Amino acid sequence: MASPKKKLQGLVAATITPMTEHGEINFSVIGQYVDYLVEEQGVKNIFVNGTTGEGLSLSISERRRVAEEWVTKGRNKLDQIVIHVGALSLKESQELAQHAAEIGADGIAVIAPFFLKPWNKVRAEEVLGGIQEKIPTFQGLKFSDTDLLDFGQCVDQNRQRQFAFLFGVDEQLLSALVMGATGAVGSTYNYLGKKTNQMLEAFERKDFSSALNHQFCIQRFINFVVKLGFGVSQTKAIMTLVSGIPMGPPRLPLQKASREFTDNAEAKLRSLDFLSFNDLKDGNLGACS
């Protein structure tokens, strides 16, 4: 990540890109989406055009327009808007980064070109070594692996640098908080943001028993949907169900989530007291004890 106005902390929703049934971007609901995140989920930071947002299935012009719409609709409502600018072409990444700066985004995030892969695995702690000398505006990383040794070393070796250490495995966030995570980027914060914020609040007041109960409750749902087959398509279906905002189908080659999946996910949400009939109508997610 580079150049946010202030250190990015707390939950960051990896935003979904709403689509019409014909696979075109549905810009008309993004303003409603912003209000839902802020008012219903208590999430005021977003990560646009990442995996959850199908960024690499969008054209460059579409990615620009999506970024513009989120910045426009989020103005004076969201705290920080980070635009993902990773692409197979470094030149395209540079152009998207320049565009993000021009429209007033708070920061950018980027993955390296991934088609031609390096033969050796490089740990995140190695990447961070001396990175500010190479990228003076570098502010932190999103760590989306389950290797807590690597993550812990990223934190431990850079304590004086005030980096943002954002964890990207939603079902293991509590463990990462213990290791020094300052926040998290994830798809489930679109509809489980309120519940996850309760976990963060319990952790902050050192009520670790309550924090653990919240994490276990979140895990029960994630574990259930992962066994059914869980990805971008299913995330869109759940968000539509919970928020009432139409997210539409994913873009090809991904296939729309099945009705069976949606019915099973809804039943699980209700069984965990995440969702009541009133919640479904109003798009709110209740507490879980």
Binding residue numbers: 52, 185
- Feature table: binding site for pyruvate: 52, 185
How is residue 262 written in tokens?
Answer: 């949606």
Q: Are 80 and 45 in contact (CB under 8 A)?
A: yes
Q: Which residues of 130-152 are buried (b: 16+ CB within 10 A; e: fewer)?
A: eeeeeeeebbbbbbbeeebeebb
DSSP string, 204-236: HTT-HHHHHHHHHHHHHHHHHHHHH--SHHHHH
Rounded to whole angstroms, how far apart are CA atoms 61 and 239? 25
| Cα separation, 100 vs 104, whole angstroms | 6
Per-residue 3-state assignment (H helix, E strand, C coil) for 31-80 = HHHHHHHHHHHCCCEEEECCCCCCHHHCCHHHHHHHHHHHHHHHCCCCCE
